[in-house]
Amino acid sequence: MSRFPGLGAARAGVARWVRPGAAATLAVLVVAALFPLAEGRSQSVMGLATLALTYGLVTLSLNLLMGYGGQVSVGHGGFLAVGAYTTAIVATHFTSLPFIVVLLLAGVVTGAVGFLLGLPAGRLRSHYLAVATLGFGLAMPQIALNLGITGGFTGLVTPTAAVGRFTLNSPVPLYYLALIVLAVSAVAIRSILSSPTGRRFMAVRDSEHTAPAMGINPWRTKVLLFTLSAFFCGLAGYVFAFYIGVVEPASFDFALSLFFFAAVVVGGMASIWGSLIGAALLVVVQQESLSAQAYSETILGVAVIIVLLLGPGGLAAVPRRVSGAASRARARRLEAAAEATSPHQSPAPSSAGTPREG
């Protein structure tokens, strides 16, 4: 078969990020499912695990926006607030609604807010977009502070809700709910990403200027992106409402949005597993520095800076880095050996280059 001259060989794929195969994913799921059998009795441990799963969904939604969509949000705490408040309000006023309806409502309402934010945001360049989302993240809790329906300063108590005979206000059932919502959302996002919609997001991310030539309307794409990201964050808000028990403005301070942002960057942009790693890291850092917010901020801030200086990919890219470095070292050794044994042969063409054009 004829080939384009100077074509580099297909590189044996070194995985770009942590990308466990189906088997590993299944293993993780099984462990997660069985986890309460070991730790179910400890409320604090179950609570932390639930928080990690909830944060995981938030970082996943944020990564969809930033890593896959190329946008910026420094205010995702605002979406979480909308989701949580919607949950509390709806559950309080419509006590007989099945949990799934309230859950979906939390997602849909938050998605609608995301849509509204996306309309102007889709026209903005990065700096301006960051400032706008910053304002959004701060404004949501402020609005909650001022409306009667949201309970003002004291907030709303999340009413009891039940799934079958399990009540969501106790640790283990809530954990399982969080796990299921996260798993289903991750699958859904995966599915979207490998479809024309997902490709459209990434096309706009990588080359917004040329995307229209392929029939893509960048603004509409970005509005959809914001809507979806907000939807999934809203789902997280539902779980969060039960986790915190009382939904009040103070639960959604500015630092929280920054933490989510940091978690996505450090865990790895454009990587589903990276988001989860970032969320887990966030929970650990928050817990370890419980006494002083200052320490979590410092650690996360420094982590973001280090990650940026080391190069893209975050923690999720570490395996690639390590195996990449190893295979490069191996390649060098082989080349050196080849040269040593046959000094008169020209070196084998590397796979990376075509000859420089004249």
Partner 1 sequence: MTVFVQLVVSALGFGGIYALAALGLTIIFKTSNVVNFAYGAMATVVAMLVWTAHASLGLPTALAWAVGIIGGGAMGIAVDLGLMRRVEGSPPLVSIVMTIGLLLAVEGLTGVIWGYGPKGIANVVGGRSFAIGPISVDRNDLFVAALAVVVAVALHLFYERTRLGLAVRAVAADAEVASLMGVSRKWVLAGSWAAGVAVAGAAATLAAPSLGLTPTLMDDAAVFAFAAAVLGGLGSLIGAVVGGFAVGILSDLVAGYISTNLQLTVVFALIVVVLYLRPQGLFGRAAQVRQ
Partner 2 sequence: MLQIEDLSLSFGGVRAIDDLRLTVADGTITALIGPNGAGKTSVLNVISGFYRPQQGRVLHDGFDLLTLPPYRVIQRGITRSFQNVALFGGLSVVDNLIVGFDHRSHAGVLRNLVRTPAVLRHERVARQRAHEVLEFLGITAIARRRADELAFGERKLVDLGRALMPHPRLVLLDEPTAGLFEAQKAWLARVLSRIPAEFGAAVLVIDHDMRLALGVSSRVAVMDFGHKIADATPGEVRADPVVIAAYLGGGPGGNAAPDQ
Task: Show the tokens assigned to 272.
Answer: 């589903």
Quote the least distance from Cβ 38 to partner 1, whole Å.
Answer: 34
167 binds, among partner 1, partner 2, none (CB under 5 to 8 A by kind): none
189: nearest Cα among 77, 271, 279, 81:
271
CB of 301 or CB of 349, closer to partner 2: 349
CB of 191 or CB of 287, closer to partner 2: 191
CA dihedral of residues 269, 275, 279, 281 (deg, nearest 10) = -60
Residue bearing tokens 């909650």: 144
| Residues of span 16-45 touching partner 2 by CB under 8 A | 16
Task: Show the tokens assigned to 132.
Answer: 């706008």
Quote the least distance from Cβ 152 to partner 1, whole Å.
Answer: 9
DSSP readout, 257-317?
Answer: HHHHHHHHHHH-TT-HHHHHHHHHHHHHHHHHTTT-HHHHHHHHHHHHHHHHHH-TTTGGG
Quote the least distance from Cβ 306 to partner 2, whole Å.
Answer: 23
Binding mask 177-216 for partner 2 (x = CB under 8 A): -----------x--xx--xxxxxx-xx-xxx-xxxxxxxx
128 binds, among partner 2, partner 1, none (CB under 5 to 8 A by kind): partner 1
123: nearest Cα among 230, 204, 58:
204
Q: Which residues bind partner 1 (CB under 8 A)?
A: 66, 70, 72, 74, 119-120, 123-128, 130-132, 134-136, 138-139, 142-143, 145-146, 208-209, 218, 254, 258-259, 261-262, 265, 292-305, 308-309
Continuous segment of H or E residues that includes residue 157: strand 156-157
CA dihedral of residues 72, 76, 78, 83 (deg, nearest 10) = 130
| Residues of span 217-236 touching partner 2 by CB under 8 A | 217, 224, 228
Quote the least distance from Cβ 330 to partner 1, whole Å.
Answer: 30
201 binds, among partner 2, partner 1, none (CB under 5 to 8 A by kind): none
Phi, psi of 247 (to 5 degrees): -95, 110
Task: Show the tokens assigned to 172.
Answer: 């283990």
Quote the least distance from Cβ 248 to partner 2, whole Å.
Answer: 33
Residue type at position 217: N
Residue 124 DSSP class: -
195 binds, among partner 2, partner 1, none (CB under 5 to 8 A by kind): partner 2
CB of 219 or CB of 254, closer to partner 2: 219
Task: Show the tokens assigned to 37.
Answer: 């059998």
Q: Decide the pairing of beta strands 246-247 and 156-157.
A: antiparallel
Strand partners, 246: 157
Per-residue burial over 208-220, b = 16 or more CB atoms within 10 Å of its CB, e = otherwise = beebeeeebebee
Quote the least distance from Cβ 5 to partner 2, whole Å.
Answer: 4
Task: Show the tokens assigned to 161.
Answer: 């809700």
CB of 233 or CB of 282, closer to partner 1: 282
CB-side exposure of 119: number of CA atoms within 13 Å? 5
136 binds, among partner 1, partner 2, none (CB under 5 to 8 A by kind): partner 1
Quote the least distance from Cβ 158 to partner 2, whole Å.
Answer: 29
CB of 215 or CB of 347, closer to partner 2: 215
CB of 134 or CB of 179, closer to partner 1: 134
- Give the interface segment with partner 2, choosing from 2-10, 112-120, 134-142, 245-253 (CB under 8 A): 2-10
Q: Which residues bind partner 2 (CB under 8 A)?
A: 1-11, 13, 16, 188, 191-192, 195-200, 202-203, 205-207, 209-217, 224, 228, 270, 352-358
